[in-house]
């Protein structure tokens, strides 16, 4: 079980995330490497919406392989190239995190490892 923290002594989160998340004792942890908009056949999908969706689908597949799902995510880090993509990211992310709001950090970066990648998403999940 993951416990989420949004204490009254600080400002509310700016979108659907929590200021803190804690996994219970004896939890099994899964660290998911940064996932990008690359389809199973190795092609890079086109456009920011498609890349964000594909990155989340890749995360979903890895979580499932570990016997977990988005409800088990404790922390998410997202890397974008431009602030213009934040509203699209939030809309798609909120669809995957409809029941939980993990701790979250959003980075604006100058570049990712491949010039055609527009987003990279990594998560840490825990299951008791």
Query: Parallel, antiparallel, or unpaired: how do β-strands 119-127 and 103-108 relate?
Result: unpaired
* pLDDT(92) > 90: yes
If you average pLDDT over residues 48-59, what whole number do you get?
98
The percent of residues above 70 in pLDDT, for the chain, comes to 100
Predicted local distance difference test score (pLDDT) of residue 9: 94
Domain boundaries, the chain: 2-127
* pLDDT(55) > 90: yes
What's the pLDDT band for 128 if we cut at 50, 70, 90?
Answer: confident
* pLDDT(1) > 90: no
Let me know if domain 2-127 sits in CATH 3.30.530.20.
no
If you average pLDDT over residues 8-35, what whole number do you get?
95
């Amino acid at each position: 079980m993951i416990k989420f923290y949004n204490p009254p002594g600080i400002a509310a989160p700016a979108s659907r995330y929590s200021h803190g998340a804690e996994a219970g004792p004896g939890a099994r942890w899964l660290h998911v490497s940064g996932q990008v908009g690359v389809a199973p056949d190795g092609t890079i999908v086109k456009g920011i919406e498609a890349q964000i969706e594909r990155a989340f689908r890749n995360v979903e597949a890895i979580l499932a392989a570990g016997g977990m799902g988005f409800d088990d995510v404790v922390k998410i880090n997202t890397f974008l190239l431009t602030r213009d993509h934040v509203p699209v990211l939030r809309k798609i992310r909120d669809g995957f995190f409809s029941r939980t709001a993990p701790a979250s950090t959003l980075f604006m970066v100058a570049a990712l490892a491949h010039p055609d990648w527009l987003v990279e998403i990594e998560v840490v999940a825990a299951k008791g």
